[in-house]
Chain A
Amino acid sequence: MDSITTNEEFSAPHEAVVEARPIWRRWLWPGVGLGIVLVFLGLLTLGLRTAGVPGPQAGQPAPDFSLTLFDGKPLSLRQDLAGKVVVVNFWASWCTPCRDEAKLLEQTWQDYRNKGVVFVGINYVDTEPEARAYIQEYHNTYPNGPDLGSKISHQYRVQGVPETFVIDKQGNIVGLPAAGTSSQTPKFTGPVTANQLAALLDQLTQAP
């Protein structure tokens, strides 16, 4: 009796007929099946490579970024801020802990702006009117701009706000001690405290 399954290759009634088929027909469906599996695995491999690009790491060069500030001026990390100590602060107007550190950031910036330190505020997932109002409210004067398309926060693997990265004069991410382990973390998670930041900046500005 004949047989029917999902495709003709498999429905060949007898061995003899199978053998009589041209080789390409005999291998057509197995080839297609194998091909699909290989393409699937290939895509996953590529996806893994894309996703596997590591975020900022302590001691490694900081990912470059450029943004348009709220006042309309462009700013690029590598071009405009080379040789300076850079404090990159991710914030949002809806973020309550950010408000805890807002004044402190401005204060510290005022204290260190003449010692080769630049603060950059990056506005993370926010709405423009509220963001501007926030800057007004806290009188933040350091360069500040929206993270259009969430590109920078993605580059920096930002998981929430506030997060603060510090970049040294050589353009590398400064490693910070992580609680509980001997390893270092590349960022402050949560609001920074005055002592932490000031101590770090003193050390970095004095370093060559």
Chain B
Amino acid sequence: MIKPRVRLQPRYLLMLGLLALAWLTLAQTALAQAPDATHIQRITDRLNCPLCQGRTLTECEIPVCVQMKSLIQQKLAAGVSDDEIMQYFVIQYGQQVLNEPTAIGFNLLVWVFPLIGMIAGAIIVAVVLRNVARRKPAEAPAATRPLPEEYLRRVEQELKDF
């Protein structure tokens, strides 16, 4: 239990701020040290096994996937660029071989909609909460009133219900 020793709000804010900062620094360092996937894995991670749904080429060991992986290896050795390899596979097996649709044209929508949804949700919640904030000053004095008997009963009721 923390005893209410200090009342100054800014100090708490400062401490929390410092903590957040320290934490971000840590995260930053972590980002810099993230391990690097092998070159071929960076490609196979983005491709699907064309036969088993929901599995990337990296994870899949069925014969066709093994063949595809060795083909990628050959192409990489021959100096073909990543993008060209991806393109080759799209031509061979169709768009569905990419496990994440290329974000151009119509397929952009797959990303746009959830984003719009989240923003709309955030706005709705924000509007609801802002109405609260606006009304707050009027209610502030109530908080300083001593607890009436009725309030205690309500607290008890709440505890029982929760």
Knowing A149-B91, A150-B93 are in contact, say whether A126-B128 is a contact too (CB < 8 A).
no
Say what secondary structure dominates the interface of chain B.
helix
The interface stretch among B33-41, B60-68, B78-86, B104-112 is: B60-68
**Residues B93 and A149 in contact, CB atoms below 8 Å apart:** yes
Q: Which of A7, A93, A94 has the most CB of B within 10 A?
A: A94
Residues of chain B with a CB closer than 8 A to A4's CB = 128, 131-132
Q: B residues within 8 A CB of A6? A: 124, 128
> Which residues of the partner chain B approach A148 to less than 8 Å between Cβ atoms?
91-92
Contacts of B131 in A (CB 8 A): 4
Interface: B96 (CB within 8 A): yes
Q: Which of B91, B92, B95, B131 has the most CB of A within 10 A?
A: B92
Count residues of A near B (Cβ-Cβ below 8 Å).
19
Proximity bits, B115-147, A CB within 8 Å = 1, else 0? 000000000100110011000000000000000
Q: Quick check: A125 and B71 within 8 Å, CB to CB?
A: no
CA distance A130 to B96 in the complex (A): 22
- Residues of chain A within 8 A (CB-CB) of B128 are 4-6
Inter-chain contact B94/A127, CB cutoff 8 Å: no
The answer to whether A127 and B50 have CB atoms under 8 Å apart is: no
Query: A129 to B93, alpha carbons, bound, how many Å?
Result: 15
Give me the interface of B with A, judged by CB distance under 8 Å.
Answer: 50-51, 62-64, 67-68, 70-71, 74, 90-96, 124, 127-128, 131-132
Q: Can you spell out 17 A-B residue pairs with CB atoms less than 8 angstroms apart? A: A4-B132, A5-B128, A6-B124, A7-B124, A92-B64, A94-B63, A94-B64, A125-B50, A125-B51, A125-B64, A126-B64, A127-B70, A127-B71, A128-B92, A149-B90, A149-B95, A150-B50
